[in-house]
Structure 1
C-alpha cells in the first residue's frame, strides 16, 4: 500500500472542513489569517525597532493584513516588502475569501427561503399536497368561493384564509405563475409555498399538515407505462399523514383525495383512517363525457356548475336555520335560488333525496341542496317579495328508453381515461354503443388495459384502429361523418398539457376540414388540459371540456363542503336524479310563460325546472340560460329545449 503524502493529507482535512458549511469555512479562513499574521510577524521581529516583542510584531502583521491603510506608515525596505506581501495576501485571503464565503452563504440562505424550507406556524388552514396542472385553478377556486369560504372559516373559528402548497421544488417561477393566474392576482400573498414531498415527514411538518382544516391531494401526472402511478403516490401520501399523526398522537385532518382508478376507492379508505372524501378523476370526466353524448349540449351546464365564473353553482346549506320548514316554504323565501333537494343522515353517510316533495319537513341535521349564482342568494331575503308556494309531489320514475340502434362513437386519441370511459358506456345497460378507438398506441396494449379495467362489457363493442388522426388521409379513411359523436381526447403521454392540447386542436381542425365536405355533421366533444387554449379556436363548433378546471372545482368545493360530492355523483351518474333536455311541446305550456309558471307546470309532473337551452346562441356563443328571473317571460322559440331534473331508473343487469 502506498503511503499518503503529507500534502494530500492536509488537503483532505481542509476539504472536509470546507464542505461543512459557512461556519467551518470561516474557521479555516481564520486559521489561515492567523498563520499569515504569525509568519509576517516572525519575519519582522529580527528587525527590532518599533517591535517590543513577538506579540506586537504579529499584531502589526495582522493590521497590515486586514487594512491596507497602514501600508504608508512602514519604514525600511524589508518592513515595506513584508507589509506589501501582507497587504496583497489580505486582499486575497481576508477580503476576497471572506466576502466570497459570506456572499455564498447569503445566496444559499435566500435560495432556501425561496424554496420554503421553514415550517409554517398556522392552524385551520388549507394544505394542497402537490404542484400539478390542477393546482393553479384549484387555488383560484378556493380564493373565489367567498360565501362558502366565509362559512368554512366561521366553522373553524378563523378569520383569514391561508393556503399552503407543498411543491417538489418551490421557486420564484411558481410565485410568478401565482401572480399571473387570473383568479389569484394580488391575492397571491395568501398562498404560501413550501418545498418537499408528501411522503416525507419533514415536509408534512413544514406545511403543518396535522393542524390544517382540510388537506387536498390532487392527482399528479405520471409517465405512461410506469409502475408508480399517480394513485400510488396518493396512497403513499395518505399513509405518511396517518403515520405522522400516530407518531405525534395528533388527530387526523380532513382529506380530499383525487384518484384516477375508481377501483382503488377502498384502498384509500383503508390507508387513511380519518375523515376522507375520494374524488375519482377519470370516472368523473368519463361520466360527464358520456352524459354529454346522451344529452348534446350538456357540457354548457356542467361547465357553468363545475367551473368558477359568474354563473350558477350548487350549494349545500345546513338545516339548522330551516328546521321545521317545508321544502316549499324554503323555496318561496329564496326567489333567486332553486331548491334541488335534501341530504338526510344515514348512519355515518347521507341519503341523497333530490326532487323531494314540497311538503317534506326539514330536520336540523339535514342538508338542503340549492342552485344559485352566489352563496348569499341561498339565504332568505326579507327585502324581496316571497314566491307563491309550488306544490310538488313525489317524483315520477321515468323508465329508460332503449335505443333502436347502437350509437356509433369515434374516439380519437388514447389516455388512461379510455378504459374508464368504456366502463361508463357499459353502465348504461339499456343502450348499446359501438366505439372505434383510434390511436398510435399498439392495439394489444389498449385492449389489455380495457379488459383489465372493465371486464365484460356486452353492451359496448370496441374496435381498435392503429392510426394517427392528425394525418388527414388516415382520418378521412375512417369516414368520420358516419358516426353519431366524435370524442377528441387530450393525451397524457406527452410532456405537457400544452403539447397534448396542441395535438387535439390540430386534429380538430383536420376533422372540421373533412366534415365541411360532408352532408352530416356529428356531435364533436373536445377535451383540453389548459384553460388558456379555450380561446384559440374562435368560432369552433365543438363542445369543450377543460378537465383540470372541472376537477379543481370539485376538489375545492368538496374541501369546503364535503357533502357536495354525493350530490354531484347523483346528478351525473346513470339512474336517479338526472339533468335532461326536454321538448317544450311535451308539456301543456301557454303561449306566454314565465319561469315561475314553468316551475309550477313541471312540478305537477314531479320534475324540477332549471332553465332553458336556446337553439340559437347569444352574442357570447352561449345557448344556456340557467335560473332565469322568475317573472321574466321565456319567449320559447322553435328548437329551444327545457333544462329539467327528472327521476330516471336503471335497467337491472
Structure 2
C-alpha cells in the first residue's frame, strides 16, 4: 500500500476542521491570514527602513492584506511586488473566503430560524401537534370562537391567545397558507410554527407542551399498510409528554387527541394519566353518515352545528350563575336561544340529560346545554321582552319509524373509514342493511380489513365489487338506481386531498347522468376531504360531508370546553337523544304557526323544537331553518318537516 502523501494529509486535516462549522472555518482563515502576513513580513524585512523590527514588518503585511488602499503608499519595486501579492491574497482569502463563510453562516442561521427549531417560551398557549388537512380549519375554529375563547383565556389567566403548530417541515409556504386562509388572515401573527414530529421528544419540548393550556393531537393520514399509523404516533406523543412531566415533576397538560380506531381508546387512557379527551374521527364521520342515511337531510344540521361562524352552535354554560333556576326560567330570559338540557357532575365524568324536563332545577355544579348563534346570546337579555315559560315533562321514547324492508347501500370508493362505517351499520339493530362496496382495491384486502375491525360481530351483509366507478360502463353494470342510498367516498390512497376530491367530484357528475335516467332517485351522500372544495358543487343534489371541517370543529370546541365531547357523543351515537325529522301531522298545529307555538306543541310531547326543514330549498339552496325568531310565522307547506330533539330510547 502506498504511503499517504503530505498534501493528502493536509487536505484531510483542513476538511475535518472546515466541516465543524463557521467557528472552525473562521479559525482556519485566521491561521491563513497570519501565515500570509508572516511570509510577507519576512520578504520585506531585508529592505530595512521603514521596517525597524519583525513585528512592524508583519503589521505592514497585514495592513496590505486586509486593506487595498495602502497599495499606493509603497516605494521600490520589491516592496510594491510584495504589496501587490499581499493585496491579491487579501481579495481571495480575507475578502472572498471570510465573506463567503459569514454569508453561508448567516443564510444557514436564517434557514434554521425559518424552520422553527428555536424552543418557544410561552405559557398557557394551545399546541397543535401536526400539520394535516385538518390543521387550517382547526386553527380557524380556534381563532373564530370568540366567546368560548374569551372564557378559556380568563380561566387560564392570560390575555392573548397564542397558537403553536408543530409541523414536520415548517416553511414560509405554510406561513403563506395561514395568511390566505379564511378565518385566519391577519390573525396569522398569533400562530407560531415549529419543525418536528410528534413522536420526537425534543420536538415536544420545542413547542413547550408542558406549559400549554391545551394540546390538540389531530390524526394524520398514512399510506395503506404502513406499520406506523397515526394512532401509533398519538400514543407515542402522549407517552413522551407524560415522561417529560415525570422527569420535571410538573403537572400534565390537558390533551384532546383524535384517534382513527376507536378500539385504541383504552390504550390512550393507559398511555396518558392526565386529563385527556379522545375524539374518534373515523367513528364520528361514520356515525354521521349512517344517521344521515336514516334521516335524509340531516347533513345540513350537522354542517351548521359543526362549523364555526355559520349559523347555530352548541354551547355549554356553567351553573354557577344559574343555580336555583329551572330550565324553563333560563329559556324565558334568553329569547334567542334554545335550552336543550343539563350535564350533572358525577365521580367519573358527566351524566347527560338531553332533552331535560323544563322544571329541572340547576345546581352550581351543573352545566346547561344551549343552542345559539352567538355566545353572547346565552346571557340574559334585559332589553328584549321575556318569553312565557314552556312546560315540558320527561322525554318519551320515540324511536324513528323504520320500514321492514332491507335498506340497500352502495358505497363507491374505499378509505380507512369503511370498516367503521360497516360497524356503525351493524349497531342499528332495528334496521337491516345490505352494503355493496365498489372499488379498485382488491376485494380480498377490503374484506380482511373489515374482518380485522369487526371480528365475528358482523350483522351487515357486505359484498365487494372490483371496479372503477370512474369508468361509465363499469358504473352502469353496478346499477346505481337499484339502491336506496349511495355513498361516494373520498379516497385516502391518493397523494393529496385535492386529488381525492377531484376524483370524487368527477365520479359524482358521471353518477348524476345515470341517476337522471331513472324515475326513482336514491339518496346520494358525498364525502370530501379538502374544505376548499366545498363550494365547487354548489346546487348539487347530493348531501355533502366534509370530514376535516367536522372533526376540526369537534377538536377545537372540546379543547376550549371539555364537557362538549359528552354532548356530541350523545347526539351522534345510536340511541339516546337524537335529532329527528317529524311530520307536522303528528302534532295538533294550526295552519299557520309561530316558532313559539311550535315549541309549546312539541314540549307537550316531551320533545324540543329546533326548527323546520323545508321541502323546497330557498334561493341559496338551503332547506334548513334552525332556531328561527320566536315570533316568526313558519307557514308550513306540504312536505315540510319539523326538526325535533327527542329521546329515541
If the length of structure 1 is used for normalisation, what is the TM-score? 0.98
Is 1:216 the counterpart of 2:216? The answer is: yes
Aligned to 1:424: 424
Decide which moves more: 110-119 or 429-438. Answer: 110-119
Is 1:354 the counterpart of 2:354? The answer is: yes
CA shift at 1:40, angstroms?
Answer: 1.1
Give matches, 1:359-374, under 5 Å: 359-374=359-374
* Partners of 2:457 and 2:511 in 1: CA distance: 29
* Partners of 1:399 and 1:306 in 2: CA distance: 24
Aligned to 1:571: 571
Secondary structure of 1:512's partner? helix
* Partners of 1:8 and 1:244 in 2: CA distance: 48
CA shift at 1:401, angstroms?
Answer: 4.3
Deviation string, structure 1 residues 389-415 (Cα, Å, up to 9, x no partner): 000000001245453111010000000
CA shift at 1:309, angstroms?
Answer: 2.5
Give matches, 1:604-643, under 5 Å: 604-643=604-643
* Partners of 1:458 and 1:92 in 2: CA distance: 78
* Partners of 1:632 and 1:539 in 2: CA distance: 27
Aligned to 2:415: 415
Decide which moves more: 52-61 or 588-597. Answer: 52-61
* Partners of 1:348 and 1:167 in 2: CA distance: 35
* Partners of 1:77 and 1:362 in 2: CA distance: 103
Deviation string, structure 1 residues 512-532 (Cα, Å, up to 9, x no partner): 111121222111110001111
Give matches, 1:473-512, under 5 Å: 473-512=473-512
Decide which moves more: 516-525 or 498-507. Answer: 516-525
* Partners of 2:268 and 2:247 in 1: CA distance: 20
* Partners of 2:456 and 2:183 in 1: CA distance: 44
* Partners of 2:262 and 2:204 in 1: CA distance: 26
Deviation string, structure 1 residues 566-590 (Cα, Å, up to 9, x no partner): 1011111110010000111111101
Give matches, 1:377-396, under 5 Å: 377-396=377-396
Decide which moves more: 47-56 or 345-354. Answer: 47-56
CA shift at 1:171, angstroms?
Answer: 0.9
Aligned to 2:188: 188
Secondary structure of 1:3's partner? coil
Change (3 A) 1:18 1:458: closer
* Partners of 1:360 and 1:580 in 2: CA distance: 23
* Partners of 2:541 and 2:197 in 1: CA distance: 42
Secondary structure of 2:534's partner? helix
2:127–2:165 Cα contact (<8 Å) kept? yes
Is 1:591 the counterpart of 2:591? The answer is: yes
- Structure 1, unmatched stretches of 5+, are none
CA shift at 1:125, angstroms?
Answer: 0.7
Decide which moves more: 535-544 or 160-169. Answer: 535-544
2:400–2:580 Cα contact (<8 Å) kept? no
Decide which moves more: 111-120 or 24-33. Answer: 111-120
- Structure 2, unmatched stretches of 5+, are none
Aligned to 2:603: 603
Secondary structure of 2:633's partner? coil
* Partners of 2:455 and 2:402 in 1: CA distance: 23
Deviation string, structure 1 residues 465-511 (Cα, Å, up to 9, x no partner): 00000000000111101111100101111110001001101110110
CA shift at 1:47, angstroms?
Answer: 2.3
Aligned to 1:310: 310
* Partners of 2:49 and 2:349 in 1: CA distance: 96
2:201–2:237 Cα contact (<8 Å) kept? no
CA shift at 1:77, angstroms?
Answer: 1.4
Secondary structure of 2:637's partner? coil
Deviation string, structure 1 residues 136-179 (Cα, Å, up to 9, x no partner): 10000000000000010111111111111111111111100000
Aligned to 1:161: 161
Decide which moves more: 161-170 or 533-542. Answer: 533-542
CA shift at 1:549, angstroms?
Answer: 0.4
Secondary structure of 1:536's partner? coil
1:403–1:432 Cα contact (<8 Å) kept? no
* Partners of 1:571 and 1:169 in 2: CA distance: 38
Is 1:41 the counterpart of 2:49? The answer is: no
* Partners of 1:180 and 1:75 in 2: CA distance: 66
Give matches, 1:41-80, under 5 Å: 41-80=41-80
Aligned to 1:28: 28
Give matches, 1:135-284, under 5 Å: 135-284=135-284
CA shift at 1:383, angstroms?
Answer: 1.1
Is 1:445 the counterpart of 2:445? The answer is: yes
* Partners of 1:534 and 1:93 in 2: CA distance: 60
- CA-atom RMSD, angstroms? 1.0
CA shift at 1:9, angstroms?
Answer: 1.7
1:352–1:567 Cα contact (<8 Å) kept? yes
CA shift at 1:603, angstroms?
Answer: 0.3
1:355–1:395 Cα contact (<8 Å) kept? yes
Secondary structure of 1:398's partner? coil
* Partners of 2:458 and 2:89 in 1: CA distance: 86
* Partners of 2:534 and 2:200 in 1: CA distance: 37
Secondary structure of 2:99's partner? helix
If the length of structure 2 is used for normalisation, what is the TM-score? 0.99
Aligned to 1:455: 455
CA shift at 1:58, angstroms?
Answer: 1.0
Secondary structure of 1:4's partner? coil
Give the count of matched residue pairs. Answer: 649
* Partners of 1:79 and 1:200 in 2: CA distance: 62
Decide which moves more: 395-404 or 505-514. Answer: 395-404
Change (3 A) 1:240 1:458: closer
Aligned to 2:19: 19
Aligned to 1:517: 517
Secondary structure of 1:63's partner? helix
Aligned to 2:105: 105
Deviation string, structure 1 residues 259-283 (Cα, Å, up to 9, x no partner): 0000000100000000000000000
2:395–2:646 Cα contact (<8 Å) kept? yes
1:431–1:459 Cα contact (<8 Å) kept? no
Deviation string, structure 1 residues 279-307 (Cα, Å, up to 9, x no partner): 00000000000000000000000000001
Deviation string, structure 1 residues 578-630 (Cα, Å, up to 9, x no partner): 00001111111012210011000000000110000011111111110100000
1:403–1:430 Cα contact (<8 Å) kept? no
1:420–1:453 Cα contact (<8 Å) kept? yes
Deviation string, structure 1 residues 25-75 (Cα, Å, up to 9, x no partner): 111101000011111111111222321122111111111100011111111
Secondary structure of 2:445's partner? helix
